[in-house]
Amino acid sequence: MSRLGKYVCALYICLAIVIGGFAAYFKVILSDPNNLIAQRYNAFFYGSYDNNLSNPQGKLVTTAPNYKKHGQVINIDSNLCIREEPNLDSYISYCLYEGMIFDILEKDNGWYKIKYEDIIGYANGDYIEEYDETPPNKVYDEIQSNSIFKKATPIEAELTAYCNCAICSEAWGSQTAMQTHTRVGVIAAPKDIPLGSKIYIPELKDYKEDRIFNVEDRGGAVVVKNDGTYIIDIWLPTHEQVNEFGRKKTIVYLME
> How does DSSP classify residue 221?
T
The pLDDT value recorded for residue 53 is 45
The pLDDT value recorded for residue 162 is 96
Q: With left for phi above 0 and alpha for psi between -120 and 50, is residue 76 left, alpha or beta?
A: beta
The residues near 211 (Cβ < 8 Å, ≥ 6 apart) are 144, 200, 201, 202, 203, 204, 205
The residues near 103 (Cβ < 8 Å, ≥ 6 apart) are 69, 70, 71, 114, 115, 116
| Amino acid in the structure at residue 157 | A
pLDDT in tens, the chain (256 residues): 566 655 656 666 666 666 666 566 556 555 655 555 555 555 555 554 454 544 545 555 567 788 999 999 999 877 899 999 999 999 988 889 899 999 999 999 999 999 999 999 999 999 999 999 999 999 988 877 666 666 788 999 999 999 999 999 989 999 999 999 999 999 999 999 999 999 999 889 888 988 899 999 999 999 999 999 999 999 999 999 999 999 999 999 998 7
Pick the CATH number of 70-140 from 2.30.30.40, 3.50.30.50, 1.10.10.10, 1.20.1730.10: 2.30.30.40
The pLDDT value recorded for residue 40 is 58
Parse the chain into domains and list their residue ranges: 3-46, 70-140, 152-255
* CATH superfamily ID and name for 152-255: RlpA-like domain (2.40.40.10)
The residues near 247 (Cβ < 8 Å, ≥ 6 apart) are 158, 159, 160
Number of other residues whose CB lies within 10 A of the CB of residue 190: 18
The number of C-alpha atoms within 13 Å of 45 and in the hemisphere containing its C-beta is 7
The pLDDT value recorded for residue 147 is 67
The three-point CA angle 253-235-180 to 5° equals 95
**Residue pair 82/95 in contact by the 8 Å Cβ criterion:** yes
Q: Which residues pair with 94 in a beta bridge?
A: 82
From the list 195, 254, 256, the residue with the least C-alpha distance to 230 is 254
> pTM of the prediction?
0.48
Rounded distance, CA 120 to CA 117, Å?
Answer: 8
Rounded distance, CA 214 to CA 203, Å?
Answer: 16
The pLDDT value recorded for residue 35 is 55
| Amino acid in the structure at residue 250 | T
